[in-house]
Amino acid sequence: MPLPFNYRRRIELLVIFFLVLFTFASYKENTVYWLQWLVLVISVASLTLVDFIFLNAGDFIYDPSYQSWTVLTGQTTLSNYD
């Protein structure tokens, strides 16, 4: 079973942490630079969320061919109603 927090994910979370720090550090009255950093934080956090949900080994398998799916799951027939 793979560990949920490998080095890549730790680096992603570290990048998000530093981006949040940059966002707070760039806030100044009457400027909009912090909004640009905020958009970057939201984008990276969204990609990290997708990584956590879909990019685990064996969690999300996209295979449009039904025949290969039946072989993978061990089904012998194409229909369960035979």
Distances (CA, A) of 21 to 1, 39, 47, 68: 34, 14, 19, 47
From CA 6, how far away is CA 51, in angstroms rounded? Answer: 12
Domains in the chain: boundaries: 7-73
Sheet strands (E) in 11-81: none
Question: What does the pLDDT profile of the chain (82 residues) look like in tens digits?
Answer: 455 677 888 899 999 999 999 999 999 888 888 999 999 999 999 999 988 887 776 666 666 776 776 777 776 665 555 4
Task: Give CA–CA dist 19/43, Å, rounded.
Answer: 11
Give CA–CA dist 34/75, Å, rounded.
54
